Amino acid sequence: MHFVVVEPHADDAFLSTHGHILSWVKQGHTVHIVTLHMSDNPVRLTEAKAYADKVGAAWTEHNIGDGVPSVVLPAGQVILPLGIRHPDHVLARQTLETPDAWYYLDMPYALVQRDAELVNDLIRGTEIVSFMKPHGNKWRNLPIFKSQAGYFYWNGRNQQLKNASFEMIVKPKRAL
C-alpha cells in the first residue's frame, strides 16, 4: 500500500504520524510526505526533507503562496490533518479532502488548545483506522526541527508532548 501524508507545516508528519510512518515502512509499505507551505523558507523545507529521508519516506513540497492548495497529490491512501483550529490545517482538509481520505489527529493542537468539543465534533461519524503510542525514541528526531526549538521548549511544552504522545488516524464511516 502507498500512504500519502499531507502536512500543512514541515513538522506535522513527525508530530502526528511518526509511529505510523515507521510501522508502515517496516511492513514494506511506501510513504510519501507532502509538505504544503506559503513561503520559501529553506530552513523549514530542509528540515522536512531531512525528516522524510530519516524515516524512509519520499517527500515533495508545494508552495501554496496564495493560500489555496491546488495540489495534485501522488496516488495512494491520502491522509490529511483532521483540521483542529489552525487555519492552515483547516484549509488543507477543506481543499484536499476526498470521500476516501483518512485523517490524523493534529498534534499538538489536540493537546495544547484543549478543545475537546471540537475534536469530538470532527471525529463524530468516523471510525478509528489506527490508534498508537509511538516508541519513546520518536523524540530523538526532534533536533531535526531546529527552527521550531523555541516552540517545542517554550514553557515545558516538550515534556507535555512527550507525556501525551499518541497518534490516531480515522476514516469516514460508510453507510451500510
For the domain that residue 124 is a member of, what is the CATH number? 3.40.50.10320
Q: What's the pLDDT score for residue 159? A: 65
Evaluate whether 84 touches 123 at the Cβ level (below 8 Å). no
Q: Which domain holds residue 163?
A: 2-172
Give 47-104 pLDDT, tens digit per residue: 999 999 999 999 999 888 766 667 889 999 999 999 988 888 998 999 899 999 999 9
Write the pLDDT tens digit of every residue in 124-153.
999 999 999 887 778 788 889 888 877 766
CA dist., res. 108 & res. 86, Å (int): 10
| Number of independent structural domains in the chain | 1
Please report the pLDDT score of residue 136 as a whole number: 75
Q: Report the share of the chain in percent with pLDDT over 90.
A: 49
pTM: 0.90
Q: What is the pLDDT of residue 72?
A: 87
- The three cell numbers locating residue 28: 514494506
Amino acid found at 152: F
pLDDT at position 116 over 90: no
- Residue with the larger pLDDT of the pair 117 and 100: 100
Would you state the cell numbers that stand for residue 175, as one nine-digit string? 453507510
Q: Which tens digits make up the pLDDT trace of 22-61?
A: 999 999 999 999 999 877 678 889 999 999 999 999 999 9
Q: What is the pLDDT of residue 86?
A: 86
- Read off the C-alpha cell for 157: 511544552
